């Protein structure tokens, strides 16, 4: 595989583990009889610890420590995964969920620093491959978890250990590159630009950066809440299998991955609010339809529509952050902080809604998306030409 693209396998493999264990926690919580709100609180535990440790680790992260951070994150997951064999209480699930936070933070803080040694692509492409990588990882992790949860706990932890070992092997392989090889690569370095030909004013760039952050926050709240609570809907409310829950989450994430990847082919859409509004309205109409239909059919509509919408929103959030090249590090840190906060709030808000009934769960999702869209209109109203 061309070295300009292979590094995106790392976030794919790590998010496989995140998706696998997150769904495993949710399914086990359902089987232990956790009510929707308590399940939401359980789901928010990872977001809380990820947010806290992301801030702490970022303070002393350096390029020299990037690979060590990534390896440490993998080692954490190698230890956490087998723990599911021995611990089966709700309290244990809270502890294991919390420990996933620093493990994930160590890896992704390290990866953001490490990424400079790999691909040097225009932002249109780098954003597409990054969105494809992490979204596909969560998709296949959810699919594997939903399938293997029916088997012995020993088998259900092997994929996480395997993917972590693959990442460590890949990092070791990077270390084998000679200084000469890296030096030659630097001489051939391609300038990283947005990939958009027309000139964007600083005011417009800033407005769309804020729009991207608003989109990331709202989308992450919905994504985190649905990932935690769809198993509760499918298993307890509809009386169906954990495998089906995993398949639905997989389907939504794989659509997200595909849409996020394809968007690099449409650079003219990036600073065009009319196109952006069409995606927002598509999401709102689709979610209104899922609210009207409700039941399992409503969940299917939700997974498809939100997969398309989320692919667009997450792509935009990363793209607009990276386009401010001088501030990209700060912007990405804010992205990660917003993901952490939304992963705290999303499961709690949607868990509380589901506590009142299925229709309130769907209604809360519609209202969150409507609020996010209204905020985005406010942010770009003066920047539109």
Q: Per residue in 359-384, pLDDT tens?
A: 999 999 999 999 999 999 988 876 66
Residue 198 or residue 94, greater confidence: 94
Query: Do residues 283 and 259 lie in contact, with contact meaning Cβ atoms separated by under 8 Å?
Result: no
Q: For the beta carbon of residue 239, count every other beta carbon within 10 angstroms.
A: 8
Q: Which helix (H) or strand (E) holds 382?
A: none
pLDDT single digits (tens) 224-247 = 999 999 999 999 999 999 999 999
Mean local confidence (pLDDT), 291-320: 93
What value does the CA radius of gyration of the chain take, rounded to a whole number of Å? 20
Structure tokens at 319: 């793209």
Lowest mean pLDDT among 118-122, 136-140, 183-187, 197-201: 183-187
| pLDDT exceeds cutoff 70 at 252 | yes
The long-range contacts involving 91-98, CB below 8 angstroms and separated by at least 24 positions, are 93/25, 93/28, 93/29, 93/32, 93/42, 94/42, 94/45, 96/21, 96/25, 97/25, 97/42, 97/43, 97/45, 97/46, 97/49, 98/45, 98/46, 98/48, 98/49
Mean local confidence (pLDDT), 91-117: 85
- pLDDT given at position 191: 42
Residue 258 or residue 335, greater confidence: 258
The contacts of residue 243 (CB under 8 Å, 6+ apart) are 146, 147, 149, 150
How many angstroms separate the CA atoms of 143 and 20, rounded? Answer: 8
Mean local confidence (pLDDT), 15-37: 94
pLDDT band at 185 (very low <50, low <70, confident <90, very high): very low
Q: What percent of the chain has pLDDT over 90?
A: 61
Which CATH number, 1.20.58.60, 3.40.190.290, 1.10.3720.10, 1.20.1250.20, labels domain 3-380?
Answer: 1.20.1250.20
Instruction: State the angle between helix axes of 202-232 and 36-58 in degrees (0 to 180), rounded to the nearest 10.
Output: 140
Residue 191 phi/psi, 5° resolution?
-65, 130
Which of helix, strand or coil describes residue 264? helix
pLDDT band at 120 (very low <50, low <70, confident <90, very high): low
How many angstroms separate the CA atoms of 136 and 154, rounded? Answer: 24
Mean local confidence (pLDDT), 321-333: 76
Q: Which helix (H) or strand (E) holds 106?
A: helix 90-114
């Amino acid at each position: 595989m061309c070295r300009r693209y292979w590094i995106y396998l790392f976030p794919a493999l790590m998010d496989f583990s995140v998706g696998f264990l997150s769904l495993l926690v949710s399914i086990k919580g359902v089987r232990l009889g956790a009510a929707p709100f308590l399940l939401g609180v359980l789901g928010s535990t990872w977001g809380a610890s990820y947010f806290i440790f992301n801030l702490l680790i970022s303070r002393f992260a350096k390029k020299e420590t990037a690979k060590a951070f990534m390896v440490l994150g993998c080692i954490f997951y190698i230890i956490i995964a087998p723990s599911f064999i021995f611990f089966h209480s709700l309290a244990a699930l809270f502890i294991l969920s919390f420990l996933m936070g620093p493990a994930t933070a160590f890896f992704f803080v390290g990866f953001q620093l490490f990424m400079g040694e790999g691909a040097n692509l225009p932002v249109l492409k780098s954003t597409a491959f990054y969105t494809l990588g992490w979204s596909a990882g969560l998709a296949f992790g959810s699919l594997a978890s939903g399938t293997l949860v029916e088997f012995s706990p020993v088998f259900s932890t092997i994929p996480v250990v395997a993917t972590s070992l693959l990442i460590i092997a890949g990092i070791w392989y990077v270390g084998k590159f000679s200084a000469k090889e890296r030096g030659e690569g630097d001489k051939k370095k391609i300038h990283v630009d947005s990939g958009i030909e027309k000139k964007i004013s600083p005011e417009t760039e800033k407005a769309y950066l804020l729009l991207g952050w608003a989109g990331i926050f709202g989308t992450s709240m919905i994504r985190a809440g649905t990932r935690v609570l769809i198993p509760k809907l499918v298993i307890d409310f509809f009386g169906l299998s954990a495998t089906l829950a995993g398949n639905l989450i997989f389907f939504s994430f794989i659509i997200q991955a595909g849409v996020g990847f394809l968007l690099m082919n449409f650079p003219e859409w990036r600073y065009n609010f009319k196109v952006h509004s069409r995606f927002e309205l598509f999401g709102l109409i689709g979610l209104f339809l899922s609210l009207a239909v409700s039941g399992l059919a409503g969940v299917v509509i939700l997974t498809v529509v939100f997969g398309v919408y989320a692919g667009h929103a997450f792509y935009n959030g990363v793209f607009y952050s990276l386009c401010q090249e001088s501030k990209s590090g700060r912007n990405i840190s804010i992205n990660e902080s917003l993901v952490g906060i939304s992963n705290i709030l999303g499961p709690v808000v949607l868990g509380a809604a589901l506590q009142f009934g299925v229709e309130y769960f769907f209604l809360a999702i519609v209202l969150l998306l409507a609020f996010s869209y209204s905020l985005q209109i406010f942010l770009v109203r003066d920047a539109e030409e």
